[in-house]
Chain A
Amino acid sequence: MTSLAALIRRDIVVALRAGGGAMIGVLFFVSVVVVMPFALGPDLALLKRIGPAILWLGAMLASLLTLDRLFTADQEDGSLDLIVMSRTPLELSCAAKALAHWLAAGVPLIVATPLIGILLNLDATATFAVALTLLVGTPALTFTGMIGAALAVTLRRGGLLLAVVVLPLSIPVLIFGVAASNAAVEGAMPFGTPFSILCALSLVSLVVGPFAAAASLRHGLD
């Protein structure tokens, strides 16, 4: 098994364990989405209209929370130093960790979406559209958030700084994710336009994220 595959497998296994953070991420997502109607009122028509936005906001906040542990867990037990010093390019290691994080923490969110969609009175088309945009967009959230996680790895209250830094960078993903979902439901514009931009944003983040995160780790740990 190559070192990258081993890294991915290890991260997924750790994340899925009790203290690992993957399951608690989904729980947070569900909690946030459930709490929203208490603030907005039980008007089903309203919830149906803003349902995609609520789901996307919940996914973004849940991903911010779980990203905090992406590097800090390894830094605390010293394995981050080993990863930085190993012969595998650090950029690839960062990409592998982000992939593992997305598989363990992002995919459950997507799986949970249809169930929560019912709470928000979303029909099948809308739910499928939101799930699809989340499938394509959550990698962008993870890979962009990884930059913040790398910058904040040695800081004590790093999670808040991570959120402050990552939120502005995540706004484009949010805009196009919600727009694509709404386009699928209302049909005011072709679904393809915002969806393809969302794909493009994810692809860009797949490249920029690992490079920026690796640079941050190298500079931050010496």
Chain B
Amino acid sequence: MSLIDLANPTRFLALTARVLPWLAAITTVLLAIGLYQAAMAPDDYQQGATVKIMFIHVPNAWLSMFVWGIMSVEALGTLVWRHPLADVAAKAAAPLGAAFTFLALVTGSLWGRPMWGTYWEWDARLTSVLILFLMYLGIMALWRAVEDPSRAARAAAILTLVGAINIPIIKFSVDWWNTLHQGASVIRAGGPSMDRAFLVPLLIMAVAFSLLFLTLHLAAMRNEVLRRRVRTLQMMQASRQAA
């Protein structure tokens, strides 16, 4: 089945109905394995058991950036290739990305408390993620501010691409600003090259969370397609009643 077949919303609905149960099952299994591995992982010689927070912090942090990347591809799909489902995908992805970014911030803060003594440190990585979180909220606000879905989609697509250009710039600036103002208070997880005992749970959790995003993304896209059908039918019904 090619991408052009997926452009048909009805076919898309049929596809997701078949695929989602499997995706959900695989995700659950991987999450279970990852959690078990995380529980069994040894303590870090510096951080003790709090290194276990890394296994859920890093996947969420990575996802927060990855989802913006996916949204950027979907934005190109809306503006350049005019794929019919691209804007559905983009709208569905934004709240998910915001949620993962939020989790990255919170777990990062909880991870940092034992290490830094405060719940928040203006260190480069957490600050960049905070700015990214604000950008996700801005995109969601833009989606809701414009009434017409296709116009909202194009506005959100442009903002997504502008954001994609800016994210490396923001990251660089915040890094620079941070080294300017403080000594290095970098989160070091297990030393320069991570021990395999930490790497395995981390990778499993990363894959599990990615599959979780994929599952939720497809399910949310399905809801969005249905929502648009509802809107069309409701408008038809309203015009019929007016006639």
User: Does any Cβ of B come within 8 Å of A5's Cβ?
Assistant: no
Residues of A within 8 A of B180 (CB): 179, 189
Q: How far is the CA of A171 from the CA of B163 in the complex (A)?
A: 12
Q: Please, which residues of chain A bring their CB within 8 A of the CB of B142?
A: 151, 161, 165
> Looking at chain A's contact residues, is the secondary structure mostly helix, strand, loop, or mixed?
helix
Known: A167-B134, A168-B135, A212-B162. A175 touches B155 (CB 8 A): no
Which one of A176, A204, A212, A216 contacts B173 once the chains associate, using CB atoms below 8 Å?
A176
A219 touches B135 (CB 8 A): no
Kindly supply a per-residue 1/0 record for chain B positions 119-160, scoring 1 wherever the CB is within 8 Å of any chain A CB and 0 otherwise: 000000000000100110110011001100001001100110
- Which residues of chain B have C-beta atoms less than 8 A from A152's C-beta? 145
Contact B138 A216 (CB under 8 A): no
Question: B98 interface residue, CB < 8 Å from A?
Answer: no
B205 interfacial contact with A, CB 8 Å: no
Q: Is B166 interfacial (CB 8 A cutoff)? A: yes
Report B168-182 CB contacts with A as 1/0, cut-off 8 Å.
Answer: 011011101100100
In-complex Cβ contact of A165 among B131, B138, B165 (8 A)? B138
B193 to chain A, nearest CB (A): 32
A164 touches B158 (CB 8 A): no
Query: Is there a chain B Cβ closer than 8 Å to A215's Cβ?
Result: yes
Contact A155 B169 (CB under 8 A): no
Closest chain A residue, CB of each to CB of B154: A219
User: Which chain B residue shows the least CB distance to A165?
Assistant: B138
Interface of B is mostly: helix
Our count of residue pairs bridging A and B at CB distance below 8 angstroms stands at 76
Number of A residues, CB within 8 Å of B? 27
Question: Nearest chain B CB to A50's CB is how many angstroms away?
Answer: 13
B137 and chain A: residue at smallest CB distance: A164
What are the residues of chain A within 8 A of B154 when measuring CB–CB?
219-220
Contacts of B220 in A (CB 8 A): none
Confirm or deny: A22 has a beta carbon within 8 angstroms of a beta carbon on chain B: no
**A125-168 CB contact bits vs B (8 Å, 1 = yes)?**
00000000000000000000001000110110100010011011
Q: Which residue of A lies closest to B130 (CB)?
A: A168
A199 interfacial by beta-carbon distance below 8 Å: no
Tell me, rounded to whole Å, the shortest Cβ–Cβ distance linking A205 to chain B. Answer: 10
Give Cα A151–Cα B156 distance, bound, in whole angstroms: 9
Q: Shortest CB–CB separation between residue A68 and chain B, in angstroms? A: 14
What distance in Å separates the Cβ of A176 from its nearest Cβ neighbour in chain B? 7
Q: A168 to chain B: closest CB distance in Å?
A: 5
The answer to the question of A13 belonging to the interface, with a C-beta cut-off of 8 Å to chain B, is: no
CB-contact partner of B131 in A171, A189, A204, A216, under 8 A: A171
Q: Are B169 and A201 touching (Cβ within 8 A)?
A: yes
Query: Taking CB as reference atom, which chain A residue is nearest B144?
Result: A161
Residues on A with beta carbons closer than 8 Å to the beta carbon of B177: 175, 179
Q: Which residues of A contact B (CB under 8 A)?
A: 147, 151-152, 154-155, 157, 161, 164-165, 167-169, 171-172, 175-176, 179, 189, 197, 201, 204, 208, 212, 215-216, 219-220
Q: Which residues of B contact A (CB under 8 A)?
A: 79, 131, 134-135, 137-138, 141-142, 145-146, 151, 154-155, 158-159, 161-163, 165-166, 169-170, 172-174, 176-177, 180
Pairs A–B under 8 Å by Cβ, sample size 22: A151-B159, A154-B146, A155-B145, A155-B146, A165-B142, A165-B159, A168-B131, A168-B138, A169-B163, A171-B174, A172-B172, A175-B177, A176-B173, A176-B176, A179-B176, A179-B177, A179-B180, A208-B165, A212-B161, A215-B158, A219-B79, A220-B151
A-B interface, 4 closest residue pairs, ranked by CB to CB distance from nearest? A172-B173, A219-B154, A175-B177, A165-B138
